[in-house]
Structure 1
Amino acid sequence: MNQGEILVIDLFAGPGGLGEGISSCKDDNGNFPFQIGVSVEKEASAHKTLTTRAFYRKLKDNPDSLADYHKYLEGKISRSDLFDVYPQAAEEAKLETLQAPRALGDDNELIHARIKQLCEKHKGPKVVIGGPPCQAYSLAGRSRNAGIKDYKAENDTRNFLYKEYLEVISIAQPEVFVMENVRGILSAKVAGELMFPKILADLREPGKVTDKPGVKGYRIYSLVEPATDPSDPIYKDSRAFLIKAENYGVPQARHRVILLGIREDIDRVPNVLKPADEIVTVEQAIGDLPPLRSGFSKRKDDAFEWEVEVESNSKLISRLLAAKFNIEKPADLFLMLKPQKALKRKTSTKSGISSSLPEELKRWYSNNAASAVLNHETRGHMDSDLLRYAFSAGYTELSGGTSPKARDFPEELAPNHDNWKSGSHADRFRTQAADKCATTVTSHISKDGHYFIHYDPSQCRSLTVREAARLQTFPDNYFFEGNRTQQYVQVGNAVPPYLAKQIAKIVLKCL
Structure 2
Amino acid sequence: MKADEILVIDLFAGPGGLGEGISSVTDENGYRPFKIGLSVEKESSAHLTLTTRALYRKLKDNRQGLQSYHDYLCGQITREELFDQYPEEAEAARTETLHKPRALGDDNEFIHERIKQLVNAHGNRPKIVIGGPPCQAYSLVGRSRNAGIKDYNAETDKRNFLYKEYLKVLSIAQPDVFVMENVRGILSAKVKDKPIFPQMLEDLRNPEQVTGIHGAKYNVYSLVKPANDPANPDYDKTSDFLIKAEDYGVPQARHRVILLGVREDIDRYPDTLLPSSEHVTVEQAISDLPKLRSGLSKQKDDNKAWERIVERHAKTVKRLLSKSFSNTEELDLKPRKGLSRSSKDIAGVDPKVSRHLRDWYIDNKPKCVLNHETRAHMESDLLRYAYSSAYTYLSGGSSPKSKSFPDQLAPAHGNWKTGAHDDRFRTQAANKSSTTVTSHMSKDGHYFIHYDPKQCRSLTVREAARLQTFPDNYKFEGNRTQQYVQVGNAVPPYLAKQIGEVLLELLR
Aligned to 1:145: 146
1:121 maps to amino acid: A
1:225-268 deviation digits (Å, cap 9, x = unpaired)? 00010011011100000000000000000000000000000111
For residue 331 of structure 1, report the CA deviation from its aligned partner: 4.8
2:150 maps to amino acid: K
Aligned to 1:267: 267
CA contact (8 A) 2:286 2:351 kept: no
For residue 210 of structure 1, report the CA deviation from its aligned partner: 0.4
Aligned to 1:132: 133
Q: What SS does the aligned partner of 1:449 have?
A: coil
1:445-472 deviation digits (Å, cap 9, x = unpaired)? 1100001000000000000000000000
1-structure distance, mates of 2:182, 2:290: 33
2-structure distance, mates of 1:483, 1:250: 26
Q: Segments of 4+ in structure 1 off by > 4 A?
A: none
For residue 326 of structure 1, report the CA deviation from its aligned partner: 3.0
Question: Which aligned pairs between 1:76-475 and structure 2 lie closer than 5 A?
Answer: 76-123=76-123, 124-213=125-214, 215-327=215-327, 331-333=329-331, 336-354=332-350, 356-475=352-471
* 1:75 paired to 2:75: yes
CA contact (8 A) 2:294 2:377 kept: yes
2:255 maps to amino acid: H
CA contact (8 A) 2:285 2:351 kept: no
1-structure distance, mates of 2:460, 2:322: 29
1:357 maps to amino acid: V
1-structure distance, mates of 2:160, 2:370: 35
1:396-415 deviation digits (Å, cap 9, x = unpaired)? 00000000001111111011
1:107-163 deviation digits (Å, cap 9, x = unpaired)? 001100100000000021100000000000000000010011111101101000000
In structure 1, the gaps of 5 or more residues are none
CA contact (8 A) 1:41 1:47 kept: yes
2-structure distance, mates of 1:351, 1:129: 36
2-structure distance, mates of 1:99, 1:388: 45
Aligned to 2:26: 26
Q: What SS does the aligned partner of 2:418 have?
A: coil
1-structure distance, mates of 2:451, 2:87: 44
2-structure distance, mates of 1:167, 1:29: 35
1:82-104 deviation digits (Å, cap 9, x = unpaired)? 10000011100000000000000
For residue 332 of structure 1, report the CA deviation from its aligned partner: 3.2
2-structure distance, mates of 1:446, 1:284: 24
2-structure distance, mates of 1:509, 1:395: 47
The percentage of counterpart residues that share the same residue type is: 68
2-structure distance, mates of 1:401, 1:178: 35
2-structure distance, mates of 1:441, 1:351: 24
1:482 maps to amino acid: G
CA contact (8 A) 1:49 1:481 kept: yes
2-structure distance, mates of 1:203, 1:292: 47
TM-score (norm. length: structure 2):
0.99
2:330 maps to amino acid: D
For residue 64 of structure 1, report the CA deviation from its aligned partner: 1.1
1:339-379 deviation digits (Å, cap 9, x = unpaired)? 00000000000123446310000000000010000000000
TM-score (norm. length: structure 1):
0.98
In structure 2, the gaps of 5 or more residues are none
Q: What SS does the aligned partner of 1:323 have?
A: coil
Tell me the number of residue pairs that the alignment of Structure 1 and Structure 2 aligns: 506
CA contact (8 A) 2:428 2:448 kept: yes
2:172 maps to amino acid: I
CA contact (8 A) 1:246 1:252 kept: yes
